[in-house]
Amino acid sequence: MTTIETSPQVYARTGGLLYLLIIIFGGFAEGYAMNSLVVAGDAAATAHNILASPGLWNLSVAGNLLVPVFAVAQAWIFYLLLRPVNRQLVLLSVFFTLVSLSVEAVSKLFLLAVMPILAGVGHPGAFEPIQAQSLAHLSLILHDIAFNIALIFFGVSCLVDGYLIFKSGYLPKLIGLLMQLAGLCYLIACLAALLAPKFADLISPAILLPSLVGELSFCLWLLIKGVNVVKWNDCVSFAKSS
């Protein structure tokens, strides 16, 4: 049976693969599809785009739903990989991650409501077109609010993970610093989006570039290099003896 103690590289590369899937599906759903269909501040244009491209919209929603599923498995692997460094801190990171994923999963309810609201126009007892467009637009706004809240918890998780990576010895210190920078940028971007939208408009999307660099660097390192097995074994042995 393959275990983390005997085959850390298998777990590391599996974690990297899951991270890559999260980046690809999340980038497509939020970065490409949403930006293609949603027109900021224009409910009518957004509704027209979604109804004109139902396939792209459904693919976007599917991508949004799959990301938390992959992320739960990823959180378990990261817990196993970073547990030898500090069991208490890695548990703290897992708790923040699970809260983040819970809020993110709930946020997808608002996305799932958009198409039924828009598609129901013209049916008996349905909303008028303007009402349906406004409700669909509100659902998108609520999704963005909940998603930003989820990313605040994820940002804290990145800060903790970055510290653990830096201290591990079997993963590069630079990756740890980049992950901490990623977490800090998530916190700044999401708090600004929720509390200071005008400031958020000034710093977005540039503020999230370090987050992409940090997460992609960690992802690719795990996928290609994995962990330093000799130092991993030393850390595991020390953790067991202490």
Point out the least confidently predicted range of 64-78, 120-134, 159-173: 120-134
pLDDT digits 0-9 by tens, 13-53: 999 999 999 999 999 998 899 889 999 888 999 999 999 99
pLDDT recorded at residue 132 = 86
pLDDT recorded at residue 220 = 96
CA dist., res. 173 & res. 181, Å (int)? 13
Average pLDDT of 163-174?
Answer: 96
Of 137, 178, 172, 179, the residue nearest 155 (C-alpha): 179
Average pLDDT of 198-218?
Answer: 94
Q: Both tokens of residue 32?
A: 């490409």
Report DSSP state, residue 206.
G
CA dist., res. 87 & res. 240, Å (int)? 11
Q: Is 92 exposed, middle or buried (0-12, 13-18, 19+ CB in 10 A)?
A: middle
SS (H, E, C) 99-152: HHHHHHHHHHHHHHHHHHHHHCCCCCCCCCHHHHHHHHHHHHHHHHHHHHHHHH
pLDDT recorded at residue 137 = 93
pLDDT digits 0-9 by tens, 189-200: 999 999 999 999
End-to-end CA distance of the chain: 26
pLDDT digits 0-9 by tens, 120-160: 755 555 667 788 899 999 999 999 999 999 999 999 999 99
Single-letter amino acid, residue 97: T
| pLDDT above 90 (res 73) | yes
Task: Using alpha carbons, list the distances in angstroms from residue 38 to 3, 33, 118.
Answer: 45, 8, 14
pLDDT higher at 41 or 59: 59
CA dist., res. 184 & res. 57, Å (int)? 31
Rg (CA), the chain: 20
pLDDT recorded at residue 122 = 53
Dihedral sign for Cα 194, 57, 62, 181, please. Answer: negative
pLDDT recorded at residue 1 = 64
Peptide bond into 205 cis (omega under 30): yes
pLDDT recorded at residue 96 = 97
Q: Both tokens of residue 222?
A: 């795990």
> Own/partner pairs for 174-181, CB < 8 Å, 24+ apart?
174/217, 175/214, 175/217, 175/218, 175/221, 178/210, 178/213, 178/214, 178/217, 178/218, 179/214, 179/215, 179/218, 180/214, 181/210, 181/211, 181/214
pLDDT recorded at residue 5 = 81
The whole-chain average pLDDT of the chain stands at 92
